[in-house]
Chain A
Amino acid sequence: MRWWAWAGGLVVLSLLLCGVGLSVGSTGWSPPWQAQGDPLAWQIAWDIRAPRCVGAWLAGALLALSGGIAQGLFRNPLADPYLLGSSSGAALGVALFLVLVGVSPVATGILVRMGLTGAAFVGAVLAVLLTLVLSKGVQHTLRLLLAGVVVGVVLGALTALTMLLEPDIMRAMQAFMLGTTGFLGWDSVMILWPMLLVSLLVAWGCSRALDALSLGDAAAISLGVRLGLVRVLLVGALALSTGTAVAQAGLISFVGLVAPHLVRSRVQSTQGPRLVLSALAGGILLLAADILARWVWAPLELPVGLLTAVLGGGYLLWRMHRMGVTS
């Protein structure tokens, strides 16, 4: 099946899930179009459920895109925003911003959200650069992963230290660490969608270079790829998408790792289409996790990061089982 057929299918699935998302709320299954004489129903659907669905989808798409870029750029199927330390960098950026500016991580107002996003972006970029410096380039997979893990752990410790020194933000950051889609509003969406667009454009623009890069640095350079420029653009896109997603929705694990793998296992394609499909798959994954988080135990809500770990981890385990069976 051609890739754009898959893309169309995923878009349809996304719309269906959005419909489900609009129907699930604090009372469980409660579609607004079925609510007779409930004046609040449509208002809640528009004010609360709609931006939350769209925001969760966009955040998932950003995380998956960043995972796909990382896996292509570092030629490593284990690369994901977490493993390169960029998520921890983004979280540290957010924590320092909260301490310095004194707001809540779920505060609204487009300027505050842009400030948070900017802080997260800077944190993510610095973290990835630190990883690259520690691993002395991307040649050695093992060194790259070790460096990423080290950077992630160290920056996570610094975040914990910040929370300790400023106990005021500790509670807020703790919820943030587990992923919070609860308060995604239209102003978060206003930041998420342009960043997704920009990151997609950059990724698509560099997709041929990524294909060439999959044969090695030497092959890519010999084919005329401007490797330095491509790396800078892709690391920038990686940090932008990770930072934006983390700033709006907190730390959410597995989406960046699993969505590209899901796509790769089902669809044969070059990097460009794979990145687009990964973004779509990631959006669906996070949206599904968010819906489950609100539905399973309504009106209580599970942390969405927990569900992505269960869904994503479960999928990975199943894949490993299948690989063990067939090999």
Chain B
Amino acid sequence: MNPILAGLKRCLLAAAMALGAVCSHAAPVTVTDDRGVTVNLPAPPQRIVSLLPSLTETVCELGSCASVVATDRYSNHPASVRTLPKTGGLDDANVEMIVALRPDVVLLAISSRVTDRLEALGLKVVALEPKTYEDVRRVASKVAQLLGAGAAGERLWQRMEAQVSHAARQVPAQARGLRVYYEVDSAPYAAGESSFIGHTLARLGLVNIVPAQLGPFPKLNPEYIVRADPQVIMVSARHGGTLPGRPGWSGIRAVKDKRICAFTAEEGNVLSRPGPRMGEAAEIMARCLKGIVPSGGAR
């Protein structure tokens, strides 16, 4: 090629890169949410309303907590979001209030009912809903994309993965391979192998009594649990004391050996959200296992 043309090309390239470097602080952001809708913003959002606790936590983990102007009623982590205005529950968000806050973007779950109304009122809405373990990675990178933070999402994911691996190493050897039953709700709803909780349990080396083909959060016949005879049971503290009284449950290994992890409401919040705190969730579970497995005493 003509050396002059090649030189011109190089100069143009350099100029473009310099220009790009200058403009990167106010670059427009584009993200395709979980509905397949592409949302374009002229710049990373400075005013964010988040209507899902895990999304709130993701935004804060990525360092943009200051941009969050309001959250839903249940977002309570980190502590700084507790003082923010609350726009309602997951189903009954206060549309007027959201609009009055003039957000640059609204983050919410796909199952939210206010999406259409907010978009009709001219707001930009990004619908993301992490349900499985892999979802969290995808959602983290999408939120990072939205915040113009580039690879921060992937870094968040790696940090969390490392936390989970670290927690897995804390689990005592005797605890590996034990059968576990994780109760999400007293109906009883269990966390199955294919749920995000089940994934963490598997990483910690436990065997879930609920296989993947039963779904992520099946409502079980209590008899199934008695038959499966788990060696460890994880349940909320409110129900922990009632387990021995349930018909037929006093014979379950975990109940007999008192290998029951009863989580407080705070811990329950961490454990039940598929978000950036899954690493912390793994640590909570590992801590409990350490406490109950060697000595066999109650937590």
Closest Cβ neighbor of A107 among chain B residues = B242
Q: How large is the interface on B (under 10, 10 to 19, 20 to 34, 35 or more residues)?
A: 20 to 34
With A48-B247, A175-B185 known as contacts, the answer to whether A299 contacts B221 (CB < 8 A) is: yes
In angstroms, how far is the closest chain B Cβ from the Cβ of A299? Answer: 4
* Residue A8 lies at the interface, judged by CB distance under 8 Å to chain B: no
With A40-B227, A183-B222 known as contacts, the answer to whether A106 contacts B242 (CB < 8 A) is: yes
CB <8 Å contact, A171 and B220: no
| Complex Cα spacing A322 to B219, Å | 37
* Residue B238 lies at the interface, judged by CB distance under 8 Å to chain A: yes
Contacts of B28 in A (CB 8 A): none
Contacts of A106 in B (CB 8 A): 186, 239, 242, 246
CB <8 Å contact, B185 and A301: no
| Complex Cα spacing A51 to B247, Å | 8
Closest Cβ neighbor of A294 among chain B residues = B221
* Residue B297 lies at the interface, judged by CB distance under 8 Å to chain A: no
CB <8 Å contact, B187 and A168: no
| Complex Cα spacing A171 to B226, Å | 22
* Residue A68 lies at the interface, judged by CB distance under 8 Å to chain B: no
CB <8 Å contact, B242 and A108: yes
Contacts of A186 in B (CB 8 A): 247
Q: How large is the interface on A (under 10, 10 to 19, 20 to 34, 35 or more residues)?
A: 35 or more
| Complex Cα spacing A27 to B227, Å | 10
Closest Cβ neighbor of B210 among chain A residues = A299
CB <8 Å contact, A105 and B186: yes
| Complex Cα spacing A138 to B251, Å | 52
CB <8 Å contact, A47 and B247: yes
Contacts of B224 in A (CB 8 A): 26, 299
Q: Which of B202-253 contact A (CB under 8 A)?
A: 214-215, 218-224, 226-227, 238-239, 241-242, 245-248, 251
* Residue A25 lies at the interface, judged by CB distance under 8 Å to chain B: yes
| Complex Cα spacing A174 to B227, Å | 26
In-complex Cβ contact of B221 among A43, A108, A182, A187 (8 A): A182
Contacts of B246 in A (CB 8 A): 106, 108, 183, 185
CB <8 Å contact, A44 and B248: yes
Q: A175-210, CB under 8 A of B: which get 1 and which 0?
A: 100001011111100000000000000000000000
Closest Cβ neighbor of A184 among chain B residues = B247
| Complex Cα spacing A107 to B246, Å | 8
Contacts of A48 in B (CB 8 A): 222-223, 226, 247-248
**Total inter-chain residue pairs, C-beta < 8 Å:** 99
CB <8 Å contact, B226 and A108: no
In-complex Cβ contact of A107 among B184, B245, B247 (8 A): B245
| Complex Cα spacing A314 to B89, Å | 35
In angstroms, how far is the closest chain A Cβ from the Cβ of B218? Answer: 5
Contacts of A108 in B (CB 8 A): 242, 245-247
In-complex Cβ contact of A299 among B74, B214, B247, B248 (8 A): B214
CB <8 Å contact, B221 and A47: no
| Complex Cα spacing A102 to B219, Å | 23
* Residue A274 lies at the interface, judged by CB distance under 8 Å to chain B: no
Among A43, A48, A302, the one with the most B-chain Cβ atoms within 10 Å of its Cβ is: A48
In angstroms, how far is the closest chain A Cβ from the Cβ of B274? Answer: 17
* Residue A52 lies at the interface, judged by CB distance under 8 Å to chain B: yes
In angstroms, how far is the closest chain A Cβ from the Cβ of B112? Answer: 18
In-complex Cβ contact of A168 among B185, B219, B238, B248 (8 A): B238
CB <8 Å contact, A175 and B187: yes
CB <8 Å contact, B219 and A303: yes
| Complex Cα spacing A103 to B238, Å | 7
* Residue A146 lies at the interface, judged by CB distance under 8 Å to chain B: no
* Residue A49 lies at the interface, judged by CB distance under 8 Å to chain B: yes
| Complex Cα spacing A189 to B219, Å | 23
CB <8 Å contact, A43 and B186: no
| Complex Cα spacing A52 to B248, Å | 11
Q: A34-52, CB under 8 A of B: which get 1 and which 0?
A: 0000001001100111011
Contacts of B186 in A (CB 8 A): 104-106, 171-172, 175
* Residue A216 lies at the interface, judged by CB distance under 8 Å to chain B: no
In angstroms, how far is the closest chain B Cβ from the Cβ of A57? Answer: 16
In angstroms, how far is the closest chain B Cβ from the Cβ of A69? Answer: 30
* Residue B17 lies at the interface, judged by CB distance under 8 Å to chain A: no
Contacts of B226 in A (CB 8 A): 40, 44, 47-48
* Residue B188 lies at the interface, judged by CB distance under 8 Å to chain A: yes
Closest Cβ neighbor of A102 among chain B residues = B238
| Complex Cα spacing A299 to B210, Å | 10
With A44-B223, A106-B242, A168-B238 known as contacts, the answer to whether A183 contacts B185 (CB < 8 A) is: no
Shortest 6 CB-CB contacts between residues of A and residues of B: A108-B245, A47-B248, A26-B224, A175-B187, A185-B247, A299-B224
Q: Which B residues are within 8 Å of any A CB, using their own CB?
A: 74, 89, 184-189, 214-215, 218-224, 226-227, 238-239, 241-242, 245-248, 251, 265
Residue pairs across A and B with Cβ atoms less than 8 A apart, 14 shown, are A25-B221, A40-B226, A40-B227, A44-B248, A51-B247, A103-B238, A108-B246, A164-B89, A171-B186, A172-B186, A172-B238, A174-B185, A182-B188, A299-B223
